[in-house]
Amino acid sequence: MTDYAEFHRRSLQDRDAFWAEQAKLIDWHKPFEQVCDYSRPPFAKWFVGGETNLCHNAVDRHLATRADQNALIYVSTETNQERIYSYRELHAEVQRMAATLQSLGVKKGDRVLVYMPMVPEAAFAMLACTRIGALHSVVFGGFASVSLATRIDDAEPTVIVSADAGSRGGKVVPYKPLLDEAIRLADHKPQKVLMVDRGLVAFDRVEGRDEDYASWRECHFKTEVPCEWVEATHPSYTLYTSGTTGKPKGVQRDTGGYAVALAASMEKIYLCKPGETFFSTSDIGWVVGHSYIIYAPLLGGCATIMYEGLPIRPDAAVWWSLVEKYKVTSMFSAPTAVRVLKKQDPAALKKHDLSSLRALFLAGEPLDEPTATWIAEALGKPIIDNYWQTETGWPILSLCNGVEAAKSKFGSPGKAVYGYDVKLLDEHSGEELKGAGQKGVVAIEGPLPPGCMQTVWRDDKRFVNTYWSSVPSRLVYSTFDWGIRDEDGYFFILGRTDDVINVAGHRLGTREIEESISSHPKVAEVAVVGVADNLKGQVAMAFAVLKDPSVIATEADALKLEGEVMKLVDEQLGAVARPARVRFVATLPKTRSGKLLRRAIQAVCEARDPGDLTTIEDPTALQQIRDLITPAA
């Protein structure tokens, strides 16, 4: 075993040699000439001059040694389907999809927007894109038309791949009307829409634009599509994420760096070896789905489980039955899912043979100690918290047990991962805080390691201004999270420094929700804050000021308007963004200079001390919120 501190030190101080070694984990069509070009900070280019292909490394590369091994195990408890694809079969399916996309006009560098439920065709579409050098841009299937439209306009896809419907808890959610409306709203019109018909719900077809995948698949049943060798720096995909402004950012990822980072993470962090089975319960619409349902397990020659359904349906043992059946060695989920399971009968966890499982990895939101302790005891397996962001694509903080076994500390996602020069900075001066227990902003010294975002899609300026400009005198990447570090080098994450909240592991910008609520004709002004919640980690709470307060005379009026506002958010952003409550107030707490005191509102909602209020203009505003949320005695 290697000494981890030394391993981490080498990844920074002997960076090029370190990553050149990791780069051997993947195939290169043409070797790279330079490991890292950081001549134009903060833009890092990894494996410059090298040529490779993500799909080749995830699929074709394994045909020689593991063609008949399971690659993709698809399980849907929504449609009661279970389909297994070997690497050979996956290779064939990806080529059928790639040939179809080419027939529909997709070329290298084009974008393909994927608006799909958790079906195997979504995985084929993503791999088909990287196979032909096109960029996929997956939009979470639950997103509403307005959100989808802004993403269509930003990505300008040649083709959109979609399906008739998703399904959640047995309820069918038609996708096609949402997609048609989004295309109607968007300025950019895709040339073609490729529809996967699951037979869940009938849908209208637009003549000349909509294509049926089943017939194209037949047509290209035997078509071979070679991998397009691309530069290591060629973008593989964009994935939108929320920030503090209403406009989502397209996180752009490269090819070579991403492949190397993910391949290395499988052995060093996620402890999964070739031939073993990896199970991530995420969705392809999120970064965890991209990295750890699709690419990393396949790059590692593992089998990956793609699961459509709830963790508690048909019962709370469903995930564990899959662990037993497919001998899952590494499982990856989110604290929110564990909190859901915690409310079920604990016997569900004891029903199945979990002996294959090495560890359960949890990420996406803070893992509170009671949840961690409960699942650790219930499973009798190590629980490994890991901290990262859509932007980084793989963990910033974790325990790298594949390098050296380390002790988990509940409440901490572990230490800085190799390749990441993680620092804690003073919020005001930007100075590095080296002492144990000092609270600062979690920042990363450039260059970001391989696999992290290259830039914001078509907006280099926004990349620099958003992420690299929070410390005036230096170029350093801000995660926008608060953290502290203990004397052993373990970090603890203390929440966001900006207006981003985390609901059930999904990141939402409070500004986005505010913009949506403000578009209601009766609303003059609104503040949205994230409030701690036992189940979801955080929920959004909205406080709105009405243009004409007299429209609310009774409690029933308030409830009716609250329902209207929630419906509006559902329509514009999707149900994920719907606030838990919308309350109506006479005025919002602001500073004398007019800045909304979101943190004070949040503190009041969480029954905490709102802190220094010397700058508040009208203290009664905060009192009104306090009265509203405190139940009458």
**Which residues are near ligand AMP by CB under 6 A?**
241, 287, 363-367, 385-390, 413, 479, 481, 493, 496, 502, 507
Give the shortest CB-134-to-ligand AMP separation in angstroms. 24
> Looking at beta carbons only, is 99 or 576 nearer to ligand AMP?
576
> Looking at beta carbons only, is 364 or 447 nearer to ligand AMP?
364
Report whether 382 contacts 358 (CB < 8 A). Answer: yes
> Looking at beta carbons only, is 18 or 361 nearer to ligand AMP?
361
Residue 523 main-chain phi, psi, to 5 deg: -95, 130
Give the shortest CB-207-to-ligand AMP separation in angstroms. 39
Query: Cis ω on the peptide bond leading into residue 177 (within 30° of 0)?
Result: no
Give the shortest CB-361-to-ligand AMP separation in angstroms. 10
Query: What gap in Å lies between CA 381 and CA 383, rounded to an integer?
Result: 6
Give the shortest CB-583-to-ligand AMP separation in angstroms. 26
Taking the alpha carbons at both ends of the chain, their separation in whole angstroms is: 61
Give the shortest CB-390-to-ligand AMP separation in angstroms. 3
Query: What gap in Å lies between CA 198 and CA 202, rounded to an integer?
Result: 10
SS3 annotation, 43-92: EEEEEECCEECHHHHHCHHHHHHHCCCEEEEEEECCCCEEEEEEHHHHHH
> Looking at beta carbons only, is 248 or 297 nearer to ligand AMP?
248
Sequence-separated (6 or more) residues with CB below 8 Å from residue 494: 439, 481, 482, 483, 484
Tell me the angle at which helices 369-379 and 335-342 cross, rounded to the nearest 10 degrees: 70
The sign of the dihedral angle between the CA atoms of 519, 521, 526, 530 is: negative
Q: Is 381 helix (H, G, I), strand (E, B) or coil?
A: coil
The conformational region for residue 314 under phi > 0 = left, psi -120 to 50 = alpha, else beta, is alpha
Query: What gap in Å lies between CA 459 and CA 466, rounded to an integer?
Result: 11
Give the shortest CB-497-to-ligand AMP separation in angstroms. 9
Give the shortest CB-412-to-ligand AMP separation in angstroms. 9
Give the shortest CB-441-to-ligand AMP separation in angstroms. 11
> Looking at beta carbons only, is 233 or 371 nearer to ligand AMP?
371
> Looking at beta carbons only, is 232 or 396 nearer to ligand AMP?
396
Give the shortest CB-277-to-ligand AMP separation in angstroms. 23
> Looking at beta carbons only, is 92 or 508 nearer to ligand AMP?
508
Question: Edge to edge, what strands does the sheet with 491-496 contain?
Answer: 421-425, 440-445, 476-485, 491-496
> Looking at beta carbons only, is 413 or 449 nearer to ligand AMP?
413
Query: What gap in Å lies between CA 185 and CA 181, rounded to an integer?
Result: 6
Report whether 14 contacts 35 (CB < 8 A). Answer: no
> Looking at beta carbons only, is 131 or 485 nearer to ligand AMP?
485
Give the shortest CB-413-to-ligand AMP separation in angstroms. 4
Give the shortest CB-334-to-ligand AMP separation in angstroms. 9
Residue 359 main-chain phi, psi, to 5 deg: -165, 160
Query: What gap in Å lies between CA 251 and CA 115, rounded to an integer?
Result: 17
> Looking at beta carbons only, is 308 or 499 nearer to ligand AMP?
499
Residue 72 main-chain phi, psi, to 5 deg: -120, 120
> Looking at beta carbons only, is 50 or 413 nearer to ligand AMP?
413
Q: Side chain identity at 268, as an amino acid letter?
A: K
DSSP symbol at 117: -
